Amino acid sequence: MSAPSDFRKDFEILKSGEYIYFDNAATSQRPRQVLEAVTNFYNTANANPLRGLYDWSMAATDAYESARKAVADFIGADSTEEIIFTRNTTESLNLVAYSYGLENVHEGDEIVITVMEHHSNMLPWQMVAKKNGAKLIYLEPDEEGVISREEYTSKITDKTKIVAIGHVSNVFGVTNPVKEIAEYAHSKGAVVVVDGAQSAPHMAVDVKELGCDFFALSGHKMLAPMGIGALYGKRELLDNMQPFLRGGEMIEYVTREDATYAELPHKFEAGTVNAGDAVGLEAAIKYIQNVGFETIEAQEVKLTTLLMDGLAKMPYIKVYGSKDPKKHCGIVTFTMDGVHPHDLASVLNDDRVCIRAGHHCAQPLMQFIGAGSTARASVYFYNTEDEVKQFLDRLSKVREVMGYGA
């Protein structure tokens, strides 16, 4: 098993060690192997995929479809027809809301989500509920971010048509009991949509084991370029859905009045596809598999433990979510007494430390925990213990800088 430090050399941006990058939940860094794979695609196979009958176009198509197979295998999908490339998790979730939700949710039905959802898994469902006269029901977590069985069994009912839930919260870092919720939701006849933006980079995902009907992920949070994401959908559901966007090679036959659509998955991929970044996503998946989820999880737990132990020694810091570092998926959200999170992030930036501050695209959760905004440090496997120590040292000086004395 390789040590996490063996991989750091592959990340050019981290090489100088000048910056401490603790905003991995927003986007990860990309290793040389991913960037080279993208460059190689454009240098050797650049043509419009899925269209041309000449070598380069066919090579581009092969590269694109190979990336689809890599995604299918990575998340345990039965077939490549169940994998649709999108720009990101947000687009994947909107696709489900527009193409499945608007057609299948009716007046008086209910959609169940959690108050912890990222806006990307909230606003599309608000839209469906408003347009179709359905009710949006919110599951609420306890202090540690846990959705209890009682909570979901009391709110998911025969009226529920869709349960949309984040696999891992981007604020608490807690992993939701998706498998149990999916089982219960299915017993009530609901379809289960999982936002996997924060889980796919950090843990082995098997969509069949999870029992979900849809699963969305973003490449840029898992070492791939920005602008490529994926949606898994069960074949029988995708088959019966209308396209989300129209035009390009997603057709079978077009007349002046009408059109029939291509087979899965191309029915959902309108316009010129992002083959270059799909190739980058395949390289990212290979890279993650080479590092191994065991190594990734072990390093995240080690760093999160060090981080939370250090924060616990600062009485003016409040950490949100579980007290157990193993339940944070590398994400630690906190506030500092008397210092606005934006000021905190700016002071740390002066020391070349990158963290996130704000509402984390989860404003209803901020309202629920009674914080207008929070600070969030999030680590990945290429971060080091030394970086955590430096971060804690710099953090301990922030209040001084803000005029609170030593």
Compute the least distance from the CB of residue 312 to ligand PLP, in Å.
Answer: 25
Minimum CB distance to ligand PLP, residue 102 (Å): 20
Q: Are 272 and 48 in contact (CB under 8 A)?
A: yes
CB of 248 to ligand PLP, least distance (A): 22
Q: Does the annotation count 354 as an active-site position?
A: no
| 114/384 with CB nearer ligand PLP | 114
Output 118 or 161, the one with its CB closest to ligand PLP: 118
CB closer to ligand PLP out of 118 and 234:
118
Instruction: Summarize as ranges the residues that interact with ligand PLP (CB under 6 A).
Output: 26, 88-90, 118, 120-121, 166, 170, 195, 197-198, 218, 220
Q: Judged by CB, which is closer to ligand PLP: 30, or 220?
A: 220
Rounded least distance, CB 218 to ligand PLP, Å: 3
Per annotation, catalytic residue among 212, 329, 354, 361: 361
Residue 19 CB, nearest approach to ligand PLP (Å): 20
- Enter the tokens of residue 209: 């084991």
For residues 219 and 243, which CB has a smaller minimum distance to ligand PLP in the complex?
A: 219
> 61 or 198: whose CB is closer to ligand PLP?
198
3-state DSSP assignment of residue 318: strand
CB of 87 to ligand PLP, least distance (A): 7
Q: Enumerate the active-site residues.
A: 361
